[in-house]
């Protein structure tokens, strides 16, 4: 299945989906050294973002979150790709400066299709999410 979206940050990645229906803030809520979500009560609390295709509605929080994403990338614990319903500036900038492929505004509701562990391919050069 191919899903079309808007390209935010170009690139190509494959990986397992890690999905949250809740927004996520990277500043103070994700450990940049481990890639583990530490926000109390968040659906992803205790889970590692490292190597995953991170699917969540949108970011929230401080602009410093962009640099947390960059630090995660430098530490080798960043997601391999990011999918948002609608990108906001913090996550978009983080993906761009970290060279993490990112799409948003997909032509179907991915929250009704995807689940944790699904294998997907993100072609953020062409704006395509392929569900394996």
Domains defined along the chain, listed by start: 2-131 (3.50.30.10)
Q: Quick one: CA torsion of 13, 52, 55, 10, rounded to 10 degrees? A: -30
Beta bridge partners of 30: 37
Q: Give the tokens for residue 119.
A: 């294998």
- Residue 62 confidence (pLDDT): 83
Summarize pLDDT for 3-33 with one digit per residue, the tens: 999 999 999 999 999 999 999 999 999 999 9
| 62 given a catalytic annotation | yes
The C-alpha R_g of the chain, in whole angstroms, comes to 13
Q: Give the tokens for residue 69.
A: 């994403």
Q: Are 43 and 20 in contact (CB under 8 A)?
A: yes
Q: What global pTM score does this model have?
A: 0.97
Active-site pick, 62, 66, 98, 112: 62
């Amino acid at each position: 299945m191919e899903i079309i979206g808007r390209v935010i940050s170009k690139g190509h990645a494959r990986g397992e989906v890690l999905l949250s229906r809740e927004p996520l803030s990277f500043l103070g809520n994700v450990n940049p050294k481990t890639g583990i979500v530490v926000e109390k009560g968040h659906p992803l609390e205790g889970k590692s973002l490292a190597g995953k295709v991170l699917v969540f509605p949108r970011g929230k929080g401080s602009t410093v979150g962009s640099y947390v994403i960059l630090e995660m990338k430098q530490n080798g614990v960043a997601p391999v790709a990011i999918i948002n319903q609608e990108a906001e500036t913090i996550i978009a900038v983080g993906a761009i400066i970290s060279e993490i492929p990112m799409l948003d505004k997909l032509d179907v509701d991915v929250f009704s299709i995807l689940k944790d562990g699904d294998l997907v391919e993100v072609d953020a050069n062409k704006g395509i999410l392929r569900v394996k």
